Chains A and B, each alone.
Chain A
């Protein structure tokens, strides 16, 4: 009876330990939670969700990505948005993003000036743009309009000069 009780206890401890290991294993939800806790705007979380839905990440990949997120958060410090980051901070965070992308064999193109991040992974493209670049020009270009009017004005002037010479 004693042996049975000890065996049951040992078995229970083994099961608890095994469940703990499973409970401590990172999941894709942990990536989302980390990024939300870091203050990643809703506008960017859409692409994170989309990326995670399109790719199955192993636990090692998830842990490696979370490690880069932690480093990026540490670099970010108290900065509230991208504009508040120093050039060194931006470069360091770009390094973290690229390191995270390397984990899964993705390529990253970052245009800091245009505020655009493009990730290519698994044959699919994910785009994130700065707030000032989300909405595109959807009207007649003012530049084109001015150019057309200018050409017309030059044309009218040329016609007037030619007419004057002909009359003369």
Chain B
């Protein structure tokens, strides 16, 4: 029986190793096939847990709305959704960026401002799941963020690769409201991930929260 089980076991281990090494290329090929076959992108948004987000940009024309403490989310709360049609990103945004939030979707650094507050918002996502499409991001790409109080759009204007502890890359010194999206770099497996791809997008529509 060793002549049966051993080859099977060794083959399984070999397949796993090959899959692990080639997974980025397999994913890329799958994405290309999806575009060719005009399949819609699979969304990571769990519809069963989606709160009452304003999916229509009715408040986009309003310049400002009064801020309310109710808008400030609890740690771990699902409080927004982020979309980029060109890249096929459709993710839940959680307030907080522990491994729990990052495993479920995009996590926001709780020390950054909430959408519409006029401050920098820092969003992190795994490079193999939520933010995998960031590998193909381009200047001009538009991200839409739906919250329970308004809808916002942000346009990408820059991107940079920097170390994980390069404070200058976080964008806190911006004079305008921006989102800084980051994910581990490079996008290949079995690498050392001391660097991040930082993508910057400035707010182009959505009401300012007066406070």
Binding site for B on A (CB under 8 A): 41-44, 46-47, 49-50, 52-55, 122, 124-129, 131-132, 134-140, 142, 145, 148-149, 152, 155-156, 159, 162-163, 166
Q: Is the CB of A46 within 8 A of B13?
A: no
Q: How far is the CB of A159 from chain B (nearest CB, A)?
A: 5
B173 on the A face (CB < 8 A): yes
A-chain residues with CB within 8 Å of residue B120 when the two chains form the complex: 42, 46
9 pairs from A and B in contact (CB 8 Å cutoff)? A53-B211, A54-B69, A127-B109, A135-B164, A136-B99, A136-B102, A139-B126, A142-B191, A163-B6
Q: Is the CB of A135 within 8 A of B172?
A: no
**Bound state CA distance, A113 and B67, in angstroms?**
35
User: What 3 A-B pairs are tightest by C-beta distance, nearest first?
Assistant: A139-B184, A139-B193, A53-B211
Of chain B, the residue at the smallest CB distance from A158 is B9
Q: B130-172: which have CB < 8 Å to A?
A: 131, 164-165, 167, 170, 172
Given that A49-B117, A155-B9, A163-B6 are known contacts, is A135 also in contact with B196, CB under 8 Å in the complex?
yes
Of chain B, the residue at the smallest CB distance from A123 is B74
Q: Is the CB of B109 within 8 A of A134?
A: yes
Q: B90-144: which have CB < 8 Å to A?
A: 97-99, 102, 107, 109-114, 117, 119-120, 122, 124-128, 131
Q: Is the CB of B13 within 8 A of A134?
A: no
Q: Is the CB of B13 within 8 A of A135?
A: no
Binding site for A on B (CB under 8 A): 2, 6, 9-10, 13, 16-17, 20, 67, 69, 72, 74-75, 97-99, 102, 107, 109-114, 117, 119-120, 122, 124-128, 131, 164-165, 167, 170, 172-173, 182-185, 189-193, 196, 211
B-chain residues with CB within 8 Å of residue A152 when the two chains form the complex: 13, 16-17
Q: Is the CB of B126 within 8 A of A134?
A: no
**Bound state CA distance, A138 and B196, in angstroms?**
9
**Bound state CA distance, A42 and B17, in angstroms?**
45
**Bound state CA distance, A162 and B10, in angstroms?**
12
Partner of A46, one of B9, B74, B112, B184: B112
Besides A46-B120, A138-B127, A152-B16, 18 other A-B contacts (C-beta < 8 A): A43-B172, A49-B117, A53-B211, A124-B74, A126-B110, A127-B75, A127-B111, A129-B109, A129-B111, A131-B167, A135-B109, A138-B131, A139-B191, A140-B189, A148-B20, A156-B10, A159-B10, A163-B2
Q: Is the CB of B10 within 8 A of A46?
A: no
Q: Is the CB of B112 within 8 A of A135?
A: no
**Bound state CA distance, A149 and B185, in angstroms?**
21
B-chain residues with CB within 8 Å of residue A47 when the two chains form the complex: 111
Q: Is the CB of A162 within 8 A of B6?
A: yes
**Bound state CA distance, A142 and B170, in angstroms?**
23
Of chain B, the residue at the smallest CB distance from A145 is B190
